[in-house]
């Protein structure tokens, strides 16, 4: 424990040259401040990247069909293939690792649109045929009404679930949409719900909200698709890579539709899990780099503390000689020097931690006030383990910064220390 006399001695020693003490402490303060800000900013990037996925399930995958690239069982290459309703049922019963399977169709294909009218108002929007499970793959905020359900699927109801951009185009502000009708391809659809996107990316949100969702069975009938399915949205069970599920689905469909087992061009896919993990891996690397740079900056400040303690020890050589001459053990001098180093380092570091956390909170509050909490950077901040780790680094740095000067202090023989001028 540190007694009152030791505290007084630490205060006297560090206060003899206030400018020198301040400049030394500032090096440590700046190092820990940079460490906290860089780690907090890294968290802000991670939060922004996660929010960019709009709450969607990250262990998900989209699979679609293309043309075959290899002949097989008498079939020529370049054959167009499609998923069918029977394929969907076979996949559900044959792939145990599968969690959610939601078949989808889109009018006009990828990025295709259709003209939608309501009275004298019109707009070009995406029309999708979906199952109720799709809401679990791509969550949406339901503003009013409901999503499609299984009775809609079974009865092939002419109902639709519209995005906020569709509502803004076809309706007056504040106008009731539920129960009204919109028209597409000569068919009237009853509006049962309005949604908005969960993503914070304005461009992606606008694109998602320019969509109209109808029951998949209704879509197949209205657009004369028969039992054809456009593509599949799938998710895997916990702790199962969705790529494994995707491979099993492709293998099953190859077998059912006589596609060469090695024909990779017959299917296209987009693995959201891989994209998410790649993004998180990149940001984790940035955080590790920030930790390394911040720690090295802090260590530079600790080296400055060590150099100043060497100067202080040299100035107190005679004092230490007197102590040794009257019987003070070397350990007491080592303890005193190390304590002075730790107090200087930890004191400056705690101020740096406080300043770093305060600045990050100020940035976050400013972004909220300006309604700019979005994009690729949001909610910057540091977690408690990071603060505790920074404090631990401070203590270790203080001890290391004091050990060398302390050893120097006890290496001088008492007689030579008393003669020192």
Mean pLDDT, 10 residues at a time, the chain of 421 residues:
64 73 81 82 72 63 92 90 94 93 86 85 94 90 94 96 95 93 93 88 80 95 93 90 92 94 92 79 79 77 76 69 70 76 82 85 70 58 74 76 72 56 52
Which alpha helices (DSSP H) does 182-271 contain, by range? 202-209, 216-222, 242-256
What's the pLDDT at 126? 92
Same domain, 127 and 203: yes
Same domain, 155 and 204: yes
405 C-beta neighbours (distance < 10 Å), count: 23
Last residue of some domain: 237, 253, 269? 253
Residues in the chain: 421
What's the pLDDT at 207? 83
Cα–Cα distance between 106 and 84 in angstroms, integer? 14
What's the pLDDT at 389? 76
What's the pLDDT at 371? 46
272-315 helix and 317-325 helix, angle to the nearest 10 degrees? 70
Same domain, 210 and 296: no
Contact 293, 42 (CB under 8 A): no
Contact 68, 181 (CB under 8 A): no
What's the pLDDT at 373? 47
Same domain, 215 and 282: no
What's the pLDDT at 65? 93
Same domain, 286 and 228: no
What's the pLDDT at 133? 92
Q: Name 217's Cβ contacts closer than 8 Å, sequence gap at least 6.
A: 129, 153, 154, 156
Same domain, 179 and 103: yes
Last residue of some domain: 253, 288, 314? 253
What's the pLDDT at 147? 96
Cα–Cα distance between 182 and 392 in angstroms, integer? 64
Same domain, 93 and 48: no
pTM score, whole prediction: 0.68
Structure-derived torsion over alpha carbons of residues 407, 411, 415, 417, reported in degrees to the nearest 10? -50
């Amino acid at each position: 424990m540190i007694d009152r006399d030791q505290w007084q001695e630490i205060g006297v020693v560090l206060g003899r040259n206030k400018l020198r003490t301040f400049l030394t402490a500032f090096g440590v303060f700046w190092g820990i401040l940079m460490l906290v800000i860089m780690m907090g900013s890294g968290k802000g990037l991670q939060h922004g990247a996660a929010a960019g996925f709009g709450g969607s399930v990250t262990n998900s995958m989209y699979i679609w069909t293309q043309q075959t690239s290899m002949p097989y069982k008498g079939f020529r290459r370049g054959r167009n293939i499609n998923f069918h309703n029977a394929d969907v049922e076979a996949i559900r019963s044959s792939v145990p690792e599968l969690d959610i399977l939601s078949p989808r169709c889109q009018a006009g294909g990828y990025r295709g649109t259709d003209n939608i009218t309501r009275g004298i108002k019109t707009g070009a929007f995406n029309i999708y045929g979906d199952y109720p499970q799709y809401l679990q793959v791509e969550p949406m905020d339901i503003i009013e009404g409901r999503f499609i359900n299984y009775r809609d699927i079974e009865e092939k109801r002419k109902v639709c679930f519209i995005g906020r951009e569709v509502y803004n185009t076809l309706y007056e502000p504040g106008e009731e949409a539920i129960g009204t009708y919109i028209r597409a391809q000569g068919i009237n659809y009853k509006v049962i719900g309005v949604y908005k996107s969960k993503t914070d990316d304005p461009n992606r949100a606008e694109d998602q909200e320019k969509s109209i969702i109808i029951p998949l069975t209704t879509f197949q009938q209205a657009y004369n698709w028969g039992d054809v399915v456009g593509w599949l949205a799938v998710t895997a069970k916990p702790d199962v890579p969705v790529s494994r599920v995707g491979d099993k689905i492709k293998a099953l469909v190859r077998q059912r539709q006589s596609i060469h087992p090695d024909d990779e061009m017959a299917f296209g896919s987009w693995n959201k899990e891989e994209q998410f993990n790649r993004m998180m891996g990149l940001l984790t690397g940035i955080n590790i780099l920030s930790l390394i740079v911040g720690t090295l900056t802090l260590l530079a400040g600790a080296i400055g503390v060590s150099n100043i303690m060497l100067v202080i020890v040299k100035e107190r050589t005679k004092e230490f000689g007197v102590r040794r001459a009257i019987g003070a053990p070397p350990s007491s001098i080592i303890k005193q020097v190390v304590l002075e180093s730790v107090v200087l380092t930890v004191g400056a570091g705690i101020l740096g931690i406080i300043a770093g956390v305060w600045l990050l909170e100020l940035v976050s509050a400013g972004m909220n006030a300006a309604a700019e909490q979005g994009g690729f950077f949001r909610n910057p901040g540091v977690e408690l383990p990071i603060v505790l780790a920074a404090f631990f680094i401070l203590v270790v740095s203080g001890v290391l910064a004091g050990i060398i000067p302390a050893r120097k202090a006890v290496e001088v023989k008492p007689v030579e220390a008393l003669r020192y001028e």
